Amino acid sequence: MKLHSLKYNPGAKHRRKRLGCGESSGLGKTSGKGHKGQKARSGSGVRVGFEGGQMPLHRRLPKRGFNNFQFQDKIAAFNVADLEERFNDGDTINEETLRASGLMKGRYDGVKILGDGEISKKLNLSVTSVSASAREKIEKAGGSIEVTKKVEAPAKDA
């Protein structure tokens, strides 16, 4: 077998439709866009969910109940394997050191350590929460864990 003898499997490679290449090509003149109208223009089309001016479905349906999405805590989760490869023996790990190492980016309300992987380094953690398996592995390696509480926003008086 040589490089020049290699071929695609039958049906794996399609030729590109060549639009606007004369009337006899079958895709000439209007190039499959029909005559005039909004969808025949360049840069055309309507946004997702637009129903021609009719009230869209997502606005016609009733909104009921409470959704906690906007109030939920956003937690950054890391496995012990991530800590093993990024930190040295005896390091203290908290939100600032995770950001400095490049593991943590963006806004989070807390940090949780999960137990996937193995750890052999003695690490000192100061995080919001730790899973049971991660706690077992870290303490077995000789590390320590300090669970800190999230700072709550003060309640507004009515």
pLDDT digits (tens, 9 = 90+) for 21-66: 998 888 999 998 999 988 899 888 889 999 999 999 999 999 888 8
Q: CA dihedral in degrees (135, 137, 142, 146; nearest 10)?
A: -20
Cα angle 4, 11, 3 (rounded to 5 degrees) comes to: 10
Q: Is the pLDDT of residue 158 over 80?
A: no
Q: Class of the 75-147 domain?
A: alpha beta
Q: Who contacts 110 (Cβ-Cβ below 8 Å, separation ≥6)?
A: 73, 75, 76, 127, 128, 129, 150
| Structural domain spans, the chain | 75-147
pLDDT > 70 fraction of the chain, expressed in percent and rounded: 94
- What's at 76, amino acid-wise? A
Q: Is the pLDDT of residue 6 over 80?
A: yes
Going across the sheet that includes 110-114, the strands are 75-79, 110-114, 129-130
